[in-house]
Structure 1
Amino acid sequence: MNTVIDDPCDWRGAAMGSATDWIHSLTPDEIDEIERAAAHAHSLGKTIDTLTMEDFPLPNVGVRLSHLKESLENQYGLYVLRGFPTEGKSVDDLRYIFWGIGLHLGTAVCQSYKGDFLGDVRDFGTSDGRLYNTNAAGGFHVDTCDVVGLFVVRPAKSGGLSRIASTVAIHNEIARTRPDLLEVLYQPFCWKTTIPAPFSAGHPPYFQQPLFSRVANKLSCLWLPVKINLAQGLEGVPHLTDKQREAIDLVTQLAESEEFAVSMMFEAGDMQFVNNHVCVHGRTAFEDYTDEARKRHLFRLWLSVPNSRELDVSLKPTYGEVGAGQVRGGIGRECGLRKYRTYEALVD
């Protein structure tokens, strides 16, 4: 497994920064079609929880979304739709539109034990341990789903730069320079089970899973080293070896470097989609407005997509299902809730 993978997702920051085929500016006709689809769905009396793909017809934009799915799986693992007008629309209308677009891409999976299926990414000033509720910088990581989508309702006053790095490129760099460490990354690590009570009953305190795996020469990088660090000190969990620590540090160092990461400043109306199997993402800290009506606000979707790759059986503890195209991933399935905004008392 410590060999180079031939994959179009083997890109580096400078090349992606100068490329243009992963960013599509929506045309006036495409915007009109999306708005007409939303109006049609509303005319049917459809709420988000009852909306289907057929209720939100996108005959032409749907072709673009099919290309987006193909690009995420078989090209760069990153795609941005730019320029959807947010001015003059209510936050709930924009929420409805993003959900409708998501229906054309895949199946939304739960993002938290609060039952979030369409989450709000804002600085709520909370201490619930979830980075997206704060204005702090976020280290590189993946979300436990095939694809994560973000829709920018309002960007920050300053900062909040989105950063993406290809784990295929990182994998291949390590294969060339430190194949001994790449072999370590394919071996199982101990991960802390982070399921809260009462849903944690019957689950072991930790489980084993690799950081890198592949099936049919398709990589999946499950980059959440924080859960490995949290497992340290649990009864029965061995201390990380020097090589394990070195391997984790090397991936982190490469992802954070200007050579491997591409950065983008979000604009209102951006819709960014990232394939978690082949890209890690993070963000810089940001300064926000004091006016609630101007504060940074993004929507987030976690999607299971129909053209997803087969995963190694070792990833079952996280994804549940590992077959290609199966509905899988997410967290909080056990809570049995379905929410479409993170806080009911949210003020916009």
Structure 2
Amino acid sequence: MSPARIEETIQEPTDFFEPKPANKAIFHDGFKTSGQQAPIYSLVQPYENFPKEITGPTVWKAAEFRANPERWTHHFTEEEVAEINSAADRFIESGIPLTGITKDRFPLPKLSSRMQDLKKILVDGQGFFLFKGLPVTAWGLQKSATAYMGLGTHLGYFTSQNSRGHVLGHVKDLGEDPTQTDKVRIYRTNARQYFHTDASDLVGLLCMAKAMEGGESDIVSMHHVFNILQRDHPDVAKTLCEPIWYLDRKGEVSEGQKPWIRASVFYMEHDPQGTPRLYGKFDPMNVTSLARYQTGPDAQVPPVSEAQRKAMDVLEQVCLRESLHMILAPGDIQLLSNAQVFHARTAYKDYAPGTRDENGQLRPRRHLMRLWLSVPLDEGGWKLPYPDAKLKKRGGIQDILGLKSHFPVHEFGSSNQAAQFDRAAPCKIGATYRVKWWENALRRYQTEFRSTGTKTENFCHYFYEAGKGSGALVNIQCFKDEFKSGKIRYLVDWSINASPGEWQDYKAVRTKALDKWQLAIQTHEHKKCVIEKPWKADRSDAGEKKKHTRLPGIKDPYAK
């Protein structure tokens, strides 16, 4: 493919976006996530302009911090926990939805000064910190999420983490296939994550539950790594500073955008009058997942070169060798700056379902809550060579469905905890696994749904769409039962090829479909529904008269 052909397919931003107010009926704070952007190529500096050696507080070695945990760790005191607890209780009692949480609505009279000092450390200093001792087990999901997001408002602005507008992410194994790198985001699996940055200024991880083994964190100073590359591997450093890297958007693409971005791994800040710093933005999984656009007569981007493969290998090796290792316990909050810190995760293994601890309690599966936070330019953020650098909510992943910003308290369908967003909700929805059986050499599963006060037959579309991404799923059928008493029940039958992993296949597809269904109902139908705790399948209506209708897979009524 000729360079001209490649350039013709690229949308090149030429200037910075100017801030515009967003619809507060959808975005409560008046700011919308800008999403994935290509850099302003005219501001990408040539390799010759990069420093040979970086100095200052952003350059650190792991040994310095292993020997001095007080420099990067703080255990919340009883007084601090009480202050956070009080702020969380007041916010929950206010009835304001989580999307409306702000620093002013989550006051921390004593802790706020510590949070402001911490923000300076994260943005301009070592770029990482670890809080310990949040009582998440006692508080449960809703209160823990409220406290966590309340603390986050003192550091930055929440940005969307996926195309559905989720601003509270859940890092857990949902049974998705990590080898399907063009479709699957690795944080939703139990696979190893290579050293990378996230698409935000800051990232936070709150540990709710640990894995049985693995799932441990490694971080490294990006500036220390760059110094090593400049000294020992200048050819690799040069390759990483060139805008020759094509990064996969993995289907989260807005109208008018290409499914990939051309970028560098390392940049220099756009600071003509000051002292620009080296900035990094990279995830190797988004490079290696682009094969579908690199081959065949319709290829749009060049394949990964040998120089690039070498650069990724060397970068990973250096990061791993120089990294600081940490194991997060329940109640720990890890905070990182993506501007100057790479992070990674080891592969992990969860406890088998039904496993109990020494006190007879069920062991939960590994679960971390994730926040992406923007620190805008006018509040001390880095001077990035990106068109959204001046926006409040720069970075993140754009909400391509046009939905409201959303705080899912947990991945619907993947937990026995109830996600109760509003106790006075005018409607209730819920789902439960009902029964499984054999038919025509296929394993069949049935999921039962019940609802009050909301139209739910539109949800069938989401199950069909989710099913398309699973090679194991053969067929989905939706049925609606209208009882004489006025009760409505929906049944979804799933046909899956029998295999050792069939149960995980079923759960993964169901979880994705339920998540989208729940979000669409809560936003587009303008209702806050109580998500009820799953119940046992009800057989009391077996003899009641009803109208039984098979529903087709209908068009998404909310699609743009």
- Superposition TM-score, scaled by structure 1 size: 0.90
Q: Secondary structure at the match of 2:92?
A: helix
Unpaired runs of 5+ in structure 1?
Answer: none
Post-superposition CA distance 1:266-316 (Å, at most 9, x none): 11110111101111111112221224762211110000023221112xxx3
How large is the Cα RMSD of the aligned pairs? 2.1
Q: Contact (CA 8 Å) 2:254, 2:398: kept in 1 or not? A: no
Selected match of 2:171 from 108, 121, 126: 121
**2:278 is the counterpart of 1:219:** yes
358, 361, 364: which one aligns with 1:294: 364
Q: Aligned pair count?
A: 338
2:65 maps to which residue?
16
Q: Is 1:180 aligned to 2:221, yes or no?
A: no
Q: Find the counterpart in structure 1 of residue 245 from structure 2.
A: 190
For 1:183 and 1:192, the matched residues in 2 are separated by: 18
Q: Which residue matches 1:46? A: 96
The answer on whether the counterparts of 2:200 and 2:338 sit within 8 Å (CA) in structure 1 is: yes
Task: Return the letter of the residue paired with 1:296.
Answer: R
Residues 65-86 of structure 1 deviation map (CA, whole Å, 9 limit, x = unaligned): 1111111112211111111112
Give yes or no for the alignment of 1:250 onto 2:314: yes
- Contact in 2 for aligned 1:190/1:237 (Cα 8 Å): no
Structure 1's 223 and 207: CA in aligned 2 closer, same or farther, altered over 3 A?
closer
1:193 Cα deviation (Å)?
A: 4.2
Letter in 2 for 1:148: V
Amino acid at match of 2:62: G
Out of 266, 269, 274, the residue aligned to residue 328 of structure 2 is 266
Q: CA deviation at 1:246?
A: 2.3
1:136 aligns with 2:191: yes
Based on CA coordinates, which of the two structures has the bigger radius of gyration?
2
CA–CA separation in structure 1 for the residues paired with 2:368 and 2:258: 34
Letter in 2 for 1:37: A
- 1:189-244 CA distances to partner (integer Å, 9 max, x unpaired)? 231442527x4542234432110011233121112233233345152433444433
Which residues in structure 2 correspond to 1:88-103 (within 5 Å)?
88-103=138-153
Following superposition, the deviation at residue 16 of structure 1 comes to 2.2
Cα contact 1:110–1:332 (8 A) shared by 2: yes
User: Which SS does the other structure have where 1:163 is aligned?
Assistant: strand
Q: Are residue 330 (structure 1) and residue 396 (structure 2) matched?
A: yes
* 3-state DSSP of counterpart to 1:273: strand
CA 1:44–1:206 in 2, change beyond 3 Å: closer, same or farther? closer
Equivalent position SS for 1:89: helix
1:345 match: 413
**Mapped partners of 2:370, 2:156: distance in 1:** 14
Shift of 1:40: 1.8
Distance 2:261 2:173 in 1: 32
Separation in 1, partners of 2:107, 2:206: 20
8 Å contact from structure 1 (residues 2, 182) kept in 2: no
Residues 271 and 243 of structure 1, relative CA distance in 2, 3 Å threshold = same
Is the aligned partner of 1:160 residue 2:233?
A: no
Larger CA deviation: 203-212 vs 143-152: 203-212
> How has the CA–CA distance of structure 1 residues 175 and 111 changed in structure 2, closer, same or farther, with 3 Å as cutoff?
same
**Whole-angstrom distance in 2 between the partners of 1:137 and 1:242:** 23
Q: TM-score, normalised by structure 2?
A: 0.57
- Paired amino acid for 1:64: R
SS state at 2:104 partner: helix
Kindly provide the CA deviation profile for residues 300-340 of structure 1, in whole angstroms up to 9, marking residues without a partner as x: 0000023221112xxx3xxx5124x8430001333333221
* 1:45 CA drift (Å): 2.0
- Distance in 1, Cα, partners of 2:235 & 2:107: 51
Aligned residue for 1:125, secondary structure, equals: coil
Looking at structure 1, the residues matched to 340 and 85 of structure 2 have their Cα atoms a distance apart, in angstroms, of: 32
* Preserved contact between residue 115 and residue 332 of structure 1 (Cα < 8 Å): yes
Secondary structure of residue in 2 paired with 1:126: coil
2 CA distance for matches of 1:339 and 1:184?
Answer: 39
Q: Equivalent residue for 2:450?
A: none
Unaligned residue ranges in structure 2 (runs of 5+): 1-49, 178-182, 270-274, 355-361, 418-560
In structure 2, how many angstroms separate the alpha carbons of the residues matched to 1:195 and 1:136?
18
Query: For residues 279 and 56 of structure 2, what CA distance do their matches in structure 1 show?
Result: 12
Q: Comparing both structures, which one devotes a greater share of its residues to helix? A: 1
The Cα shift of 1:2 comes to 4.7
2:478 maps to what in 1?
Answer: none
Q: Find the residue that maps to 2:117 and give its secondary structure.
A: helix
3-state DSSP class of the match of 1:294?
coil
Could you tell me which residue of structure 1 aligns to residue 261 of structure 2?
A: 207
* 2-structure distance, mates of 1:62, 1:10: 27
**Which residue identity is paired with 1:229?**
T
1:241/1:90 Cα in 2 relative to 1: closer, same or farther (>3 Å)?
closer
Change (3 A) 1:219 1:131: same
The residue number in structure 1 matching 2:110 is 60
Q: How many Å apart are 1:52 and its aligned residue?
A: 2.2
CA contact (8 A) 1:304 1:326 kept: yes
Q: Which of 332, 347, 353 is equivalent to 1:285?
A: 347
Residue 157 of structure 1 and its aligned partner are, at CA, apart by 2.1
CA contact (8 A) 1:5 1:217 kept: no
